[in-house]
Amino acid sequence: MRIVTLNESTKNNLLNSLLKRSPASYGQYEQKVNEIIEAVKEKKDQALFDYTLQFDHCTITKETIRVTSEEIEEAYTLVDPEFVEVMKKSAANIKEFHQKQLHNSWIIPKEDGTILGQKILPIEISGVYVPGGKAAYPSSVLMNVLPAKVAGVKRIIMTTPPGKDGKITPGTLVAADIAGVDEIYKAGGAQAIAAMAFGTESIPKVDKITGPGNIFVALAKKACFGFVSIDSIAGPSEILVLADETANPRYVAADLLSQAEHDELASAILITTSQELAEKVSEEVEAFTQTLSREKIIRASLDNYGYIFVAQNMEEAIDAANEIASEHLEILTADPFETMTKIRNAGAIFLGEYSSEPLGDYFAGPNHILPTNGTARFFSPLNVDDFMKKTSIISYSKDALAKVHKDIELFAEREGLTAHANSIKVRFER
C-alpha cells in the first residue's frame, strides 16, 4: 500500500478521490433507469416479466413470481445446518440490540389546559431489496428485516432477482425466513425498486425501500424517493483504521483487506502516528493479498482507494478521521475508549484489537447498513426509527388558547397570512 504523509493537501486529495465513488457521479445511467421506472409504472407486471427475461434470462409469470413455502423448505435442505444455526444466533443478537431503540408514544397534559404529545407508529408495509447471485449476502437480509420487525411493521416484502433456473439463492431464502419476511418476489434491478415504489398487479406498493444493490438499483431508489421512503443511496464499502505504535500490524492489515475485497471501488485507509507501523502494515498487506481468494479485486481496490497516512500526532489523525467520516472506523490505540470520545463522524466504531470490522458485519447486533461516502456527518445506521413515523398531538382548552391567541394572530399577520390569524380570532369574537 502507498504510504503518504498526512497534510492538508494529501487529505483534500483523498476526500476528492473518495467522492468520485458516489452513485451521484454516475448520471449516464439515469436515463435508462428512468425508462425502466416509467415502463413499470405503465405496464406493471408485464414490464417486470419482460425485464426479468432481458436481464436475468429467466421467464417469470404471475403464477411463479412469488416464492412458495415449498421453495423455502427446499432452501433449508441446500444450506449447511451449522450455517443456519449461526444465522439464528446472529438474528437473535440483531433483534436484541434493536429492541433497545424502541420509543413509546407520549402525551403531557399541563395545568393550563394544554395537551401536547407524539404518537409513534410503525409504517404499514416495508420493502427490502436483496441482490442476487454472488452479491447475495444473508447477513444483509437480517440487517434490513429485523429492525422493521422490531418496529412492528405488519407486512414485509422482499424482492430479489432469480437465477436462470428461476430459483433464488438458498441462503437468501433461509435468512428471509429466519428474519420473518412475509412475501418474497422474484424481481431484481431498477424494475424491482419501481415495482415496490408504485405497485404492480403482483407486488404491493410499499412505504419504505431498504437494501443494497448495484448502480441501477441505487439510482432507481434515488429516483423513487418522495413517492416512497428509502434508507439511503449507498456507496461502495469503506474502512478507516486509526492506530498508534501499539497496534498489531498483522491485525491492521487483515482488517483493511476485509473491506478491500468487496469490490474495486472499496476504500481501505490507515491513519497512524507511527512510520514503523505504516511500513509493517504495508508489508503484511502484500503478504496477505497473495494468499486471498479475491486477490484481483483487492489489488484494484488498494491501487485506487487504498492509503496509509502518517500523521504528526494523534490530534491530527483524529481530525482527518472526522473529516473522512468513514463507514467503518476501527480504533487501535493504547486507550481506544479515550480516543473514541473525540470521534464525531463515523458509521460504526470498533474499539480495540479484538473488535474487527467483520464482527459488526455478521454477529454483534448493531446494524451493518451504514452511511458511506462521508455521509456519516449527517446520516445514521439503519435503525428502528427508520420504520417508524411520528405524529404530533396538540390540544388546547379555551382558557389555554385565550392566553396566547393575540400572539398567534400577530405572528400570522406579520407573515401576511390573514386567514391564519382569522382562524384564531373568530374563537374570541364577542
Neighbours of 421 (CB within 10 A): 20
Say which DSSP state 271 is in: E
For the record, the C-alpha cell of 174 comes out as 433461509
Q: List, by residue number, the catalytic residues.
A: 327-328
Give the Å distances, CA to CA, from 4 to 129, 244, 297, 402.
Answer: 39, 16, 22, 67
Backbone angles phi, psi at 17, to 5 degrees: -65, -45
For the record, the C-alpha cell of 69 comes out as 413455502
Say which DSSP state 220 is in: H
Helix (H, G, I), strand (E, B) or coil at 311: coil
Say which DSSP state 365 is in: S
Give the Å distances, CA to CA, from 350 to 248, 294, 326, 358.
Answer: 15, 24, 12, 10
Sequence-separated (6 or more) residues with CB below 8 Å from residue 140: 130, 211, 212, 368, 369
Q: What is the 3 state secondary structure string of 116-154? A: EEEEEEECCEEEEECCCHHHCCHHHHHHHHHHHHHHCCC
Sheet containing 388-396: give its strands across.
Answer: 106-109, 114-122, 388-396
Residues recorded for the chain:
430
